[in-house]
Structure 1
Amino acid sequence: MTRFVSHGPDPRDGRIYVLSQELQLAIDVALATDRPLLLSGDPGSGKSSLAPFYAREKRLRYYEHVVTSQTQAADLLWTFDSVRRLGDAQMHRGRLNDGVYVNPGVLWWSLAPESARTRGGLLQDTHRHDPLNRFHDERGTRGAVVLIDEIDKADPDVPNSLLVPLGSQEFTIAETGTIVRREPDVAAPLIIITTNGERQLPQAFLRRCVTYTLPAPTPEDLVRIAQLHLEHEGVLFDNETVDLAVTLADELIHVRDNEQSGRERLPSTAEYLDALRACRELHVHPGHPQWPLVRSLTLAKSPQQDG
């Protein structure tokens, strides 16, 4: 059996994704209507992987912002280093250029990259590379994909505060009065927003999104995903590996269908890949004495208990 060479469980490099016809249609509708695409689905189902894949396939600039409980809507637009400015003002006691203290966020770069480079005309264009574009080799393109990951972790005010800038593709920098709007030669970005359903999103926000829920994977889906990942990692997808992938796919579906009681969530595609990699690396397969433990560590994880 060929030894598995790890490249990380989730490199987020956009090189592998199985894009269904239904999901492609959802993207097309989002682009046609100029609306964000809100993706829901189980954790580990591939919501966050879609954006870098689509950006790489279409040779678009790619930005991502992972939302936390501390995220404010303005963080996606710009941040202002008021502490640094105060220190400089106390030290120099002269007139300061506020553009120095403005840091464009992912939506500013996606809508108006030339404005972002000059901080809305307050700085000279230094022709520096776009610091937030994850695919620097494709930075010259005039289109972009933006991933806003796990929006449901933010305070409910955050989605509502994004309605106007996402809808009008225009906003004003409070500290400088600079108006940022999508540049004429820049295509409207594809905004992909993910949610794990941990918090109810505002209805006004939902109405302004194209929504799509990733379906539960079929055994055929899982095996195809496994093949793409392993072949990308240089692993021969031979008959032995196919048999293991099929067996583990059936096992995951069995866990999802028959062992839901007491579970906070069901095993995902990511955990299926973990099980496959572990079995290959450790030479364990269903029926092996160590299989029950491997199964409980990857596919059939016990819910956490309060201690």
Structure 2
Amino acid sequence: MTNWQIFTGNQEPTSDWELPASPSWRPFGEKNQPGESRRKSRGETFQIVDENQIKMVNAALYLRRPLLITGKPGTGKSSIAYKVAYELNLGEVLYWPITTRTTLKDGLYNYDAIGRLQEVKLSEQNPQPLSKQQQKASLKQIEKYITLGPLGTALLPSKKPRILLIDEIDKSDIDLPNDLLTLFEEGYFKIPELVRLKEEVKEVTVGTAYNDETEELTAKDRTATIEEGIVSCKAFPFVILTSNGERDFPAPFLRRCLRLTMKSPNQDELVKIIEKHIDTDICLRDDVIKLIKDFIKKRNKGTLATDQLLNALFLIKEGKIATDDDIIRLINQDLGTVESSDD
């Protein structure tokens, strides 16, 4: 093995070093254009190995139903959304990560009420009364303070479904799944701040949750026109919700979703994933085959994710470490942490 360590700990400063190309699942720098979402590379690299996954995706598309995907971390739950977007040319995946504090309104839109109030107060300081045209123009300025969230953007009218990933829905407040029910059934929502002004301001142009400037299909939708404060879809969005199986959901919510359970890949499926991301020949090595088998045994007893195996194999392929190196044990720890003792 070559001396691959860039950082040596010898306290000698040096600029004479260079990093090799990054792993395919960690694309940065030259692998991404400015303004391009890094997550979308999953669509090109994710390997679907289960025919049932394909069937459930198609069923969700046909039935206009959300697809609830449950599985352990690292099984590719969220990657399916990017794979569908890539193959069906649906543009940028609208990403909505869920926390315990997330509310339905967070996903629909954000209104900067403080900024709007400050603008109104400044306009009131003008000693000259405003004409009707000026008053209407002033009211229309509300559009600068409203931005659609990922869920709200997904419901914008379009010929083909927009694609929305609601990640880790099981982390949500207990009310959020129920709050989504009506929205999934009706396919539209109102923005009260705009509805109140619909007589004076019929339409406004607001920002959306689209950020990827390189996606031709959806880059033009980084702003959207809303009429009379109502956002209503023409094509129901393709919605994927992911869950780690950490909680149960209300029965009405489950009835309105199609459900898919992601299984951890077996040895043959892992080999296909490794060939896609790392190299074809590396899977022929006896020491790597043994490493894969050991990984599966540990994974079935704990919480190891596939990318932890890929991390180790990337270093092995680069000729940096051997399969019996201590760093393999550290990378593939169940909790993904390394303890360091102080001298």
TM-score range, shorter chain: 0.7 to 0.9
Show the counterpart of 1:27.
57
Larger Rg: 2
What percentage of aligned pairs have identical amino acids?
32
278, 284, 292: which one aligns with 1:242: 284
Shift of 1:269: 1.2
Opposite residue 71 of structure 2, the aligned amino acid is G
Contact 1:43 1:268 (8 Å CA) reproduced: yes
Opposite residue 327 of structure 2, the aligned amino acid is V
Whole-angstrom distance in 1 between the partners of 2:266 and 2:275: 14
Alpha-carbon distance change, 150 to 188 in structure 1, aligned in 2, over 3 angstroms: same
Whole-angstrom distance in 1 between the partners of 2:335 and 2:156: 47
Whole-angstrom distance in 1 between the partners of 2:254 and 2:181: 10
Alpha-carbon displacement from aligned partner over 1:146-197 (angstroms, at most 9, x marks no partner)? 11111112211111111111221111112222222113xxx32210010112
Any stretches of 5+ residues in structure 1 without a counterpart?
115-140, 231-235
266, 272, 275: which one aligns with 2:303: 266
Show the counterpart of 2:222.
none
110, 114, 119: which one aligns with 1:83: 114
Any stretches of 5+ residues in structure 2 without a counterpart?
5-19, 27-37, 125-134, 196-228, 339-343
Alpha-carbon displacement from aligned partner over 1:229-284 (angstroms, at most 9, x marks no partner)? 12xxxxx532x453255333212112134xx3xxxx42121212122123334543
Contact 2:170 2:243 (8 Å CA) reproduced: yes
Alpha-carbon displacement from aligned partner over 1:187-221 (angstroms, at most 9, x marks no partner)? 32210010112333223212211111101210011
SS state at 1:103 partner:
strand
Show the counterpart of 2:296.
253
Alignment of 1:148 onto 2:175: no
Alpha-carbon displacement from aligned partner over 1:11-36 (angstroms, at most 9, x marks no partner)? 52221122221001111121222110
Contact 1:248 1:276 (8 Å CA) reproduced: no
SS state at 2:192 partner:
coil
Whole-angstrom distance in 1 between the partners of 2:321 and 2:181: 50
Whole-angstrom distance in 1 between the partners of 2:311 and 2:88: 29
TM-score, scaled to structure 2? 0.68
Contact 2:103 2:176 (8 Å CA) reproduced: yes
Alignment of 1:297 onto 2:330: yes
Whole-angstrom distance in 2 between the partners of 1:282 and 1:70: 45
Using the TM superposition, name which of 67-76 and 6-15 deviates more. 6-15
Show the counterpart of 1:12.
39
Aligned length: 259
Show the counterpart of 2:192.
174
Contact 1:40 1:214 (8 Å CA) reproduced: yes
Contact 2:170 2:244 (8 Å CA) reproduced: yes
Using the TM superposition, name which of 265-274 and 93-102 deviates more. 93-102
Shift of 1:110: 2.3
Whole-angstrom distance in 2 between the partners of 1:113 and 1:76: 17
Contact 2:96 2:151 (8 Å CA) reproduced: no
Measured on the aligned residues, the alpha-carbon RMSD in Å equals 2.6
TM-score, scaled to structure 1? 0.76
Alpha-carbon distance change, 304 to 223 in structure 1, aligned in 2, over 3 angstroms: closer
Contact 2:157 2:232 (8 Å CA) reproduced: no
Contact 1:77 1:105 (8 Å CA) reproduced: yes
Whole-angstrom distance in 2 between the partners of 1:45 and 1:29: 21
Whole-angstrom distance in 1 between the partners of 2:239 and 2:332: 32
Whole-angstrom distance in 2 between the partners of 1:174 and 1:159: 22
Contact 1:159 1:201 (8 Å CA) reproduced: yes
Alignment of 1:111 onto 2:155: yes
Contact 2:330 2:337 (8 Å CA) reproduced: no
Alignment of 1:192 onto 2:240: yes
Show the counterpart of 1:71.
102
Contact 2:25 2:277 (8 Å CA) reproduced: no
Opposite residue 167 of structure 2, the aligned amino acid is D
Shift of 1:83: 1.4
Whole-angstrom distance in 1 between the partners of 2:337 and 2:320: 28
Shift of 1:79: 1.3
